[in-house]
Each structure stands twice: as structure tokens, then as C-alpha cells.
Amino acid sequence: MKCAILYIFMFFSFSEAFLFNHENKHGVGVPFMSNFSYYFQYEEQFFNQKLDHFNPTDKTLWSQRFWRNPQFYKSGGPAFLMIEGEAPARAEWIVTGQWISFAKDNNAICFMVEHRYYGNSRPTIDASTENLQYLSSEQALADLAYFIEAMNEEYNLPKEIKWIVFGGSYAGSLAAWLRMKYPHLVYGAVSSSGPLLAKTDFYEYFQVVRNSLSLYDKGCVSAITDANKQLNKLVRTEIGRSQISEAFQLCQKLENNKKDISILFENLAGNFAEVVQYNKDNRKSKSSHVIIDTICDMMMQPADLPAWKRYAEVNKLMLNINNETCLSCNYSEYITNLQKTDWENASKNDRQWIYQTCTEFGFYQTSSRSTDLFSQHFPVSFFIEQCKNIFGTKFDEVLLSNAVNRTNILYGALDINVGNIVYVHGSVDPWHALGITKATNKPYAAIFIKGTAHCADMYPSSVKDSDELKSARKEIQRIINLWLKKKEIFQNYHYLVKFIYLPRMTKEVFV
């Protein structure tokens, strides 16, 4: 959910085994930097934060990590806050990215805050299920509110200073929700690729993946479909499973085990989902050079090679990129690792984010409606079973259904009606299916960028950026300028939203 995947394919690597053969699937990636030593001049700092904001009798404090960059600040300028999401904060973001360009243009002081329970922001002794009760978006939003108040006091910032918040993926959702929940503290929010609708069965995810692959070549989708049909036949026999184990470089021989087979099919679908979600996004990544064109060309040629073997070649490519020797599809091993509660293992295995999906969001990218493309092996029940196996039997479908409903009631899902927010999404990014992409007659702005991926608007500019992406960034800057210069308009929400078109990009902006 900066842009990670909020991607829930909940697998990870252990030593030589590669169970989840994809880089961080939630949060924003690492930006490219021309000067790698530049960000070290802004050291990490720690802020005394409350453990439980909603229990006034609990006075427990913990240390939350943050960074400050005052380089561009001039008296009268705003304060910009980069919200980190469900991954360790990367210090590079305190000195680079589009938000820093916006800060320079507006003389802003910049802050970046790490989310509780991620990275080095550890409120409790470990990540046990009991301790994870303090991990929630509500607590995280309250953290940010208290942080803003503390920074105003600590650095003697003017009472009238305007705070603009930024975030991508899950942190993009937090940016919008922070503006909605704490409008007296936050003047504006830029929400990039933020999913606002909590949903247990996020089957739309693979529908967008399918559409994005099809836009390159329908033959790519046909080849993937054929590959999965062939694999479905192979997994039914011992000889077929042995062939799969060898061709896909599995760490253990694939047995006739339903859950192991589900992990296999989900991991293989994840190879394509990762590439689609981050296609040409300009992040620093081992796999950034692998784009939709790359994997689709591999799936369509050579034509005389069975589709499932071409599918195996794509998997081999992803393994090599990540310096992994094999792919693990052992469900028991997967659950055992996720049950570890020490910080090192919990962080490595994504235990915290999985907890949030089980107790707040769902967001499970299932095969419910894409059975002809990536098979039917990872329905929503597969993910709910993981919640129960990892955290306990009470984390069942009833708890999850109530939790998702509660989240949508708390935040309004797609019915947020708050001004001074700009929602930015890319058409290739599957997460746009759970976000706001239109803003006709609404008090906020929406920018929907054709041909771009997850959080693409957030990264530093590149010579390879499309005209649509360049135009979107300029529009975000224009909207921020309006927020900062025309206070009376946006405080009273008396303005017109007009639907306009640019070449290959749809945007809804203030005029």
C-alpha cells in the first residue's frame, strides 16, 4: 500500500530460498540520486511519541524516527511532511523526489516521519500479536498529528504556517486521511496511488494487470493463459510436479499439497504483477530495467517452446535479478517464519503489514476473477487462512469483514468530500482501482495519468519521463501554489472543478 507494493503477495526470502521473489511490494521504492552522500547531512532524529493515543491513562512513550531538511526554508514558507508507510523509511527521500522540488519552489521546511512498527520506529519490545494491537492507521494518523504540533513548538514555527503532506501507496491514503481527520493541522495533501477503499477480495488488481499486458500485445495475455492451463495439468501428476520443480528452480520438490501449489501459482503471477505495477517508474531497483515489453516478449517467443517453459524463463529472470538460487513454495515454512516475533524476522518477513491487512484493509490480490489468466489457486479464502495461521484462529473471515467495514466507515472509502487534496494515479498501476481518479463537482482534485505506474509522480524527474507524467507534475505544483496563495478560496471551498483533457491524460483540476 512509499509506493510498496502495498502489494500483498505475502512471500519473502530466507537465506538461499526465495519464497517471495519480488522486491518490497508495498510502499514507495528508493529514488535515484546523483549524489549518494548528500542525504547523510540530515541525520535521523527521534521524537517521544505516545503508545496509545486513545487511552488517556496509558502514558507509555516510545521513540519515533524522523528527519528534517531546513535547506529551502524562508520565513513565511510552508512546512512539507513526507509520510512513510509500511516499510523502513529511506533517508534518500529527505533530499530528493518531486516533493523536494516543490519545497524548493515554495521555500518550505521539510520533515519525514517513519510509520510506527516499521524500520527503527519500534513502540514495543517485539512484534507479538498482543503488541501489534497498537499498530493501526488510526494510531499512525494520531502520531502524525502529535508530531506536527511538536515540530511547531520545537522549531518555533509561525502559528499560521501551512502544513502540506505527501505520501504514496498506503502512505498516500494516510495523507488524504490526515487532511480529513486533522484539518486544523493539515492545510493540504498530495495522495499518490493511495487506495482509499478497503476491500477483502481485491480481484480488480489482476484485471488491471491483464489490461496493462494486453495493451502491449494481446498475444502476451494468451501466452500467459496457455502457460497456466499447462501448469494446471502438470501439477496433477508426480511426473508433472517434478518437471515444474526443475524448470522453475524450486527449493524443494513440489508435492501434491494444495497450499504449496497455491503459493507457487501466486508467486508466478507476482512476477508479472510486480513488473506491471512498477513499469517504467524511475525508481532505483534491481528490476527497474525489466518492463512489460521485456516479459511479454519472453512469453511470446520462441513460439516453438511450450508456454509453461517460457513462463519458467520469466521466473528464472526474476530469480537472477534478485541474486536468488531457488524459489520456495513451502507453506509451512512460510507460516513458521511469519510467526516469529523478534524485530529482525518480523521486519524481514512483513509480519506487521500482513497484520494490518488482516485487521484493517484486506487488499488481497486474488485469482477470484482471473481464473483463466493466472489460475484459480489463490482465492480470498487462501489469504484469510494465512491470517488465522499467523496470528490466531480469531483472525477469521468475520473479523476481517468487520474490520474492512469499520475502515470504510472511519475514512469514507471513495466518498471523501474534503477540499485541498489532490489524488494522483497512473492507469497502469493496479491500485488505481481502489482510489479516486475522477473529481467532477468535488472539492478536491484528481489527476489520472495514462501509461504510468505506481507512485511514478513522486520520483525525481528523468529524461525518459513521458509528456503525460511531466504535465501531471506541473499540475500538482500549480495546485500546491493555489493552496498556498489563495487561502480564502480553499478555506470556504467555493470554487469550480472542471473536467479537462490533455493529450493522452485525463485530469480534473481547480480552475
Exactly one of 169, 288, 367, 471 is catalytic; name it. 169
Separation CA 85–CA 480 (nearest Å): 22
Residues 68 and 114 sit within 8 Å (Cβ to Cβ): no
Largest CA-CA distance found in the chain, in angstroms, rounded? 72
115 is catalytic: no
Residues 356 and 135 sit within 8 Å (Cβ to Cβ): yes
Exactly one of 260, 454, 457, 471 is catalytic; name it. 454
Which candidate, 477, 465, 459, 457, places its Cα nearest to that of 93? 459
332 is catalytic: no
What is each CA distance from 234 to 258, 311, 330, 422, 454, in whole angstroms? 14, 14, 18, 48, 34
Residue whose C-alpha cell is 512498527: 117
Separation CA 430–CA 4 (nearest Å): 12
Separation CA 270–CA 265 (nearest Å): 8
Q: 336-344: which pairs have CB atoms within 8 A and are 24 or more residues apart? A: 337/12, 337/14, 338/10, 338/386, 338/390, 339/390, 341/126, 341/127, 341/128, 341/129, 341/131, 342/126, 342/127, 343/122, 343/126, 343/127
Query: What is the number of residues in the chain?
Result: 511
Residues with Cβ within 8 Å of residue 354, at least 6 apart in sequence:
8, 10, 338, 386, 387, 390
Rg of the chain over all Cα atoms, to the nearest angstrom: 22
Residues 79 and 166 sit within 8 Å (Cβ to Cβ): no
Exactly one of 350, 429, 457, 465 is catalytic; name it. 429
121 is catalytic: no
Residues with Cβ within 8 Å of residue 213, at least 6 apart in sequence:
220, 221, 224, 272, 276, 292, 296
Strands 45-50 and 326-327: unpaired
Separation CA 83–CA 410 (nearest Å): 20
> Which residues in 162-194 are b (16+ Cβ under 10 Å) and which e?
bbbbbbbbbbbbbbbbbbbbbeebbbbbbbbbb
Separation CA 39–CA 115 (nearest Å): 20
Q: For the chain, first and last CA: distance in Å?
A: 31
**Residues with catalytic roles:** 169, 429, 454
